[in-house]
Every structure is written in structure tokens, then in C-alpha cells.
Amino acid sequence: MRELLTPAQMGACDAFTINHGTPGIDLMERAGQAVADVAKAMTPKNGRVLVLAGPGKNGGDGYVAARLLASAGYDVRVAALGDTRKLEGDAKWAFDGWNGDVLPATELDTSEFAAYGLILDALFGAGLTRGLDGAAAALVQAVNHAEKPVLAVDLPSGLDGRKGQALGPAVQATSTVTFHRLKPGHLLYPGRALCGAIRVADIGIHHDAISAAGFTAQLTGAYLTEHLFDLSADAHKYARGHVLVIGGPPEKAGAGFLSASVALRAGTGLVTLALPPETMAGSVGQYPALMRARCADARDLARLLRDDRLTACALGPGLTPNEATRQMVYAALDSKTALVLDAGAITAFAGMVTPLFERIMARSAPTVLTPHSGEFKRLFGDSETNLSKIERAQKAARGSGAILVLKGADTVIAHPNGRADCTYVNANAPPWLATAGSGDVLAGIVAGLLAQPDTAHNDPQHQTATVALGVWLHGEAGQPSGPALVATDLEAALQTVLQRVSPSQFIAVQG
């Protein structure tokens, strides 16, 4: 269930299934059934339901649901957008199966919407080709104005299922039922907020359909913990990897400490925090497990990185975006360790990306860039409005040679190979994870995971999954604190998450 399908890929899955012997009307009947089942759970039996049916197959699902709800005792009213005499194929079949009246949507008295217990939005789904305007836009605005529970069929009408954006007005749903797999629009903002609670219904799509139609990315999840380093019982600390974190000047020194301490929590055996001389004093008591090294400039860093026991390096949290930082990044890029570039190490290259990307591409060890949307724009621009966030991350990864972590409530992780099986969307991050220091923690988790030995080998799928695991763990760790979360809570929460997901290897001896 983890593959994400664009509406076009979903259409290809429908077609594949139909070509392999399942009539389209069977798929539509199951889709309508799934919608009716959720509708029943949202409104009391005998409740009043308004079904708004559009001119395509999304409307077809609406007519099926209307029939099933009416036969279950609901008081169903159907309004059609567009000329129902033009309905074709499966949608026409569904329309013909509805025995009640169909009112033209333009004749609806929208002030009566408040009298319904549920509005079923079956206006537009995967077939949306442009922003809504005219009668469709007016209807959608009236639905939103009514403030009644709304169940969207497949997608809230007006929402682009590929991009997660609406070019015109879009339905604000209470709940959305989609079919077979999630679409990017259900996860990418602002689409995710328009969908409400999302359910994915099985409508009997052929099990080979996705391999034939392709997918665009994968949803992260607990399954990624299979990429946690499998620790042998007699492992020594050097066998568990060694991370070097570069800390910044005193006024931003906390960032490096956050990254470093959490890198240790992520399971790496040793972490050294490299600090400029003015930050070296103080704070040892709080972080006794960290080793420290003096690092005044790029030359010091190059010297530190000559230690070939180092397996990963995190650079950027707490660093000032300037020439000195750029030189440190170059020194780090010349090393053989996995590298996470964040914050100041990203912004330092605004408007001067060519030398950065050339050096990243020349590396054999993985390089990870973790920009939030502002940092992303500084490196890659924001002119490509027709691309989804997934496609933007894939393109930026290809262009930079780095594994891209495009952060946000809908973080996308993409490998430079651009492959869907090396692309992830993360959806477990609570809104309060957007807090000072949260990004430093993420950089530390990712470096801590990449440092561990079995992630060092050069398999793009494995490396990207490891980075995606870091993003997922960060989201999980952010949940228990609630809105009071501060970044330092994440370290203890990460410990709890890892306790939960790590299999115990200890042999209990009965005495």
C-alpha cells in the first residue's frame, strides 16, 4: 500500500484491470460501495444526503453511492453539474441505475445546503484538467460555505491529485475516500489539509497493474525500520560508525550539540563534535558522551576528516553562511564519508551552486541536502510551478547529485537517480515539529543512521530508504510532546521510538 500513484497512473491501473477482464462498471460499483459505506458512518441512518455529481466517472461513483444509500434508507437528493444527456460509458451506466430525480446543480438553492446531514462531493476527481470556474466554482464555494460534513469521492473537487494544489476553488472535505492507493495530492500540502480524514478503498485493481502503470513515490512508514542497522551482539563502538558534527560560534552552538547528541542516539557508536576555539569551553557536563575536537577552519576540518574511521559528517547547523563555511563544505566534500549538508551549509551556496553540485557529483559516498522550502528556493529557484513537490525534489536531486530531503509537513526524499523506488513522501510529522532546532535534530538523525556500516555500501535504494527512515523517525519522535515540543525533547522521544521498533536480541535465561 505504500506506492503513490498520480491520477494518470491510477487511470492506467484502471485500464489495465479492465483490459484483463474486469468490467469498468464493476470497479465503479465497488468505488460507489466504498463511498456509501463511509457516508453511512458519517451520518445517521435515514439522514439527508446531498450528492453532487459531475460530468465524468467521479460523478458515476456518486450515482452508485446515491443508489446504495437510498436503498439503505437514506433520504438522498442528487444534483448534476453539466448536461446529463452527455454522460458516457460507465458514468452513464451509473446514472441510469439511479431511479430518483436529478436536479441541475445550477437550480439548487444553496441556502438549503445547511439542511443536509452530509454532502457527497462527486463533482471532479482524477480527470480535473484546470482550475474550477463558473458554475462549478460557485457550487464548490457554496459547499464550503455550508459548513456541513463533506465526503469527497477520490479527491476534493478542484484539487489536483498530482500536485496537491488547487488552481481555483476547491472543496474542503471532512473525509475523502480514494481508491487502491493514495495519490500525491492526498499528502502534499495544501491538498492534504483539504482532504480531511483519508481512507483508501480496495476496488479490485489487478495485482500486476502498478508494475505495468508505474508509481511516482512511496509513503514512508514503520516498514522502513528494516533499514535499521542490525547490531551484532559483540559489536564494538567503531563497528557502529563514527560521526563528525561541525558546530558553530557560541551564539549558535546549541545547534551542533543537538545534531551531535541525537546522532549518538540514532545508533552510531561514536560522535565527535568539532568546535571553533571560542565554543570549546563549557557545556561538557551536559554532553559527556560526545568527544570534542578543535576546528577553527577548513584546514582543521580537512585534517580531522583524514581519520578514516569517520563514516559520516554533518555540517551546517549553527554555521554562518559565508566563505569560511563554503571552504569547510569543500573540505567535507573532499572526504570519503557520507555527508549531510544542512542550514548554513546550504544557504552559503545561494546563487553559486555550480561548484557545490560539481563536487557532490564527483563523490562516491552519499551526500544529503536537507533544505526547507526557503533554502530550497535559494539553491534551486522556484520557477517551476507546474511541478509537484515530489517532481521538484526529484529534479533537484538529479541536478545536484545529492539525496534531497525537501522538508516540510510533507517532506519529500529523492535520490539523484530520480527513480520512484528511491523517492519517498513522509506524512507523520506533527505541525509542532516546526520549531527551533528541529532541523538540527533531523540532520543528526540522518548522519547517525548513514554512519552505520551497512548503509555505507553503494545501493541507492538502501541509502535513500535510510534517509527516509531518518525523516520518519524524526516525525515519530515529534508526536508525544504535543504542541509544547521543544527540540531537546526529540532526543528522549527518539530513544522511546527506537525501543519500540528495534527487535530485542537478548536471550532471556530462565533461572
Ligand X SMILES: NC(=O)C1=CN([C@@H]2O[C@H](COP(=O)(O)OP(=O)(O)OC[C@H]3O[C@@H](n4cnc5c(N)ncnc54)[C@H](O)[C@@H]3O)[C@@H](O)[C@H]2O)[C@@H](O)CC1
Question: Which residues here bind ligand X, judged by CB under 6 A?
Answer: 11, 14, 24, 27-28, 31, 54-61, 90, 124-132, 136, 153-154, 179, 203
Q: How far is the CB of 99 from ligand X (least distance, A)?
A: 20
Which residue of 121, 160, 440, 489 would you call a contact of K ion, by CB under 5 A?
121
**Cell numbers for 58:** 467521479
38 binds, among ligand X, K ion, none (CB under 5 to 8 A by kind): none
Which residue of 9, 43, 157, 463 would you call a contact of K ion, by CB under 5 A?
157
Q: How far is the CB of 36 from K ion (least distance, A)?
A: 15
Q: How far is the CB of 28 from ligand X (least distance, A)?
A: 4
Cβ closest to ligand X, residue 131 vs residue 249: 131
90 binds, among ligand X, K ion, none (CB under 5 to 8 A by kind): ligand X
Give yes or no for residue 153 binding K ion (CB under 5 A). yes
C-alpha distance from residue 298 to each of 172, 320, 447 (Å): 52, 14, 20
Cβ closest to ligand X, residue 56 vs residue 416: 56
Around 178, how many Cα atoms within 13 Å sit in the side-chain half-sphere? 29
Choose the stretch contacting K ion; rule: CB under 5 A; options: 70-78, 125-133, 373-381, 427-435. Answer: 125-133
Give yes or no for residue 266 binding K ion (CB under 5 A). no
121 binds, among K ion, ligand X, none (CB under 5 to 8 A by kind): K ion
Helix (H, G, I), strand (E, B) or coil at 131: coil
- Residue 151 CA, chain-centre distance (Å), reads 23
Q: How far is the CB of 391 from ligand X (least distance, A)?
A: 21
CA dihedral sign of residues 36, 39, 43, 47? negative
Contact (CB, 8 A) for 475 and 433: yes
Identify residue 459 by its one-letter amino acid code.
Answer: D
Give yes or no for residue 160 binding K ion (CB under 5 A). no
Cβ closest to K ion, residue 157 vs residue 370: 157
Cβ closest to ligand X, residue 30 vs residue 40: 30
478 binds, among ligand X, K ion, none (CB under 5 to 8 A by kind): none
Contact (CB, 8 A) for 231 and 439: no
**Cell numbers for 131:** 482550475
| Eight-class DSSP state of 421 | G
Choose the stretch contacting K ion; rule: CB under 5 A; options: 100-108, 148-156, 361-369, 416-424. Answer: 148-156
Choose the stretch contacting K ion; rule: CB under 5 A; options: 92-100, 143-151, 157-165, 184-192. Answer: 157-165
Give the C-alpha separation, 387 to 402, whole Å: 19
Bond into 190 cis (ω within 30): yes
Cβ closest to ligand X, residue 203 vs residue 346: 203
56 binds, among K ion, ligand X, none (CB under 5 to 8 A by kind): ligand X
Q: How far is the CB of 331 from K ion (least distance, A)?
A: 53
Cβ closest to ligand X, residue 126 vs residue 301: 126
Give the C-alpha separation, 267 to 237, whole Å: 10
Give the C-alpha separation, 475 to 165, whole Å: 23
E-only strand ranges, 319-369: 338-341, 367-369
Give yes or no for residue 290 binding K ion (CB under 5 A). no
Give yes or no for residue 491 binding K ion (CB under 5 A). no
Q: How far is the CB of 104 from K ion (least distance, A)?
A: 18
Identify residue 347 by its one-letter amino acid code.
Answer: T
CA dihedral sign of residues 304, 297, 332, 256? positive
Question: Alpha helix locations (H) across 43-128?
Answer: 57-71, 89-96
Q: How far is the CB of 138 from ligand X (least distance, A)?
A: 12
452 binds, among K ion, ligand X, none (CB under 5 to 8 A by kind): none
**Cell numbers for 384:** 517551476
Give yes or no for residue 262 binding K ion (CB under 5 A). no
Q: How far is the CB of 250 from ligand X (least distance, A)?
A: 56
Give the C-alpha separation, 365 to 509, whole Å: 42
CB atoms within 10 A of CB 488: 14
| Eight-class DSSP state of 495 | H
Contact (CB, 8 A) for 179 and 203: yes
157 binds, among ligand X, K ion, none (CB under 5 to 8 A by kind): K ion
Helix (H, G, I), strand (E, B) or coil at 369: strand
Give the C-alpha separation, 200 to 182, whole Å: 7
How many residues touch K ion (CB under 5 A)?
5
Give yes or no for residue 91 binding K ion (CB under 5 A). no
57 binds, among ligand X, K ion, none (CB under 5 to 8 A by kind): ligand X
Binding positions for K ion, rule: CB under 5 A? 121, 125, 152-153, 157
